[in-house]
Amino acid sequence: MNDRWLFRQVALHLLMGGALGAVFAAVLLASNAQHLLQIIQHGSAPITTLIIFVSGISTYFGFGAALTGFHFVIMDDNPDRRP
């Protein structure tokens, strides 16, 4: 395992998590959970609030997926832990 391969794997997990976070935010907005879409639409800057909402959830999911992916890649490559 080299550094470039590890970086690609972590970046892939980051992108997958970010995409899943954006889908999750879209589902929350589409289902109008807790009247979230109405709250955003009736705010003073609805487009900015919507961008911050979706990008915040995507960042949170992406960071979590990147950390988890890093852990999985490191543990999978460690020959001492294999039975």
Domain positions in the chain are: 20-81
Q: What is the pLDDT of residue 1?
A: 74
Q: What is the pLDDT of residue 17?
A: 98
Look up residue 56 and give its DSSP letter. H
For residue range 34-79, list pLDDT tens digits in order.
999 999 999 999 999 999 999 999 999 999 999 999 999 998 866 6
Asked if pLDDT for residue 8 goes beyond 90, the answer is: yes
The two tokens of residue 42 are 């009736």
Asked if pLDDT for residue 83 goes beyond 60, the answer is: no
Asked if pLDDT for residue 82 goes beyond 80, the answer is: no
What is d(CA 83, CA 79) in angstroms, rounded to the nearest whole number?
9
